[in-house]
Amino acid sequence: MEQEKILLGGDWNAHSDRWDPQCPPKRDANFLQNLMDEYNLIDVTDGEETHLNTRNVETSGSLIDFCITKASMADRLETSTDWATTSDHAIVRAQLGSDVGEGAKV
C-alpha cells in the first residue's frame, strides 16, 4: 500500500477539539491523535455532528464519525452527513474525486 493513498473512516468514539471544536478534549482521543500525528494524517469532516447522545435528559451531539487521510487526498475528498437512519449515529458519506471521470465512491 502506498503511504500517500491512505483513507480510514469509522466510528472512532474519540472526543477531541481537534476535529470537533465544540467538544472538550478527553483521554479517549489520545490513540487516534497519536496515530494521525505519526502518519501525518488529517481529519476530513463536513463539520456536522455525527452522534446524538440521548441517554441524558437533554439531547447532545458530537462529531465522532469521520474520515482521516493524507493531505494530498483531502483536497479531493468530499464528505457529507445523513441522518436517514434509525441509529444514534449519522451515515458519513465520502466521495473521492479523481482526475478522470466523476469520482469513486468510498
Closest CA to 9 of 84, 95, 88: 95
The reply to whether 101 falls in a domain is yes
CATH code: domain of residue 53: 3.60.10.10
Is the predicted pLDDT of residue 105 greater than 80, yes or no?
no
The reply to whether 2 falls in a domain is no
Mean pLDDT of 39-58: 80
The reply to whether 61 falls in a domain is yes
* Confidence at residue 100, expressed as pLDDT on a 0 to 100 scale: 44
Domain that holds residue 22: 7-105
* Amino acid making up residue 82: D
Render pLDDT for 50-89 as a digit per residue (tens, 0 to 9): 888 766 656 678 888 898 999 888 888 888 888 888 888 8
* Confidence at residue 52, expressed as pLDDT on a 0 to 100 scale: 82
Cα–Cα distance for residue pair 1/71, rounded to 1 Å: 17
The reply to whether 96 falls in a domain is yes
Mean pLDDT of 87-100: 79
* Confidence at residue 45, expressed as pLDDT on a 0 to 100 scale: 86
Count the domains in the chain. 1
- Give whole-number Cα distances, 63 to 35, 48, 52, 79, 86, in Å: 18, 7, 9, 13, 17
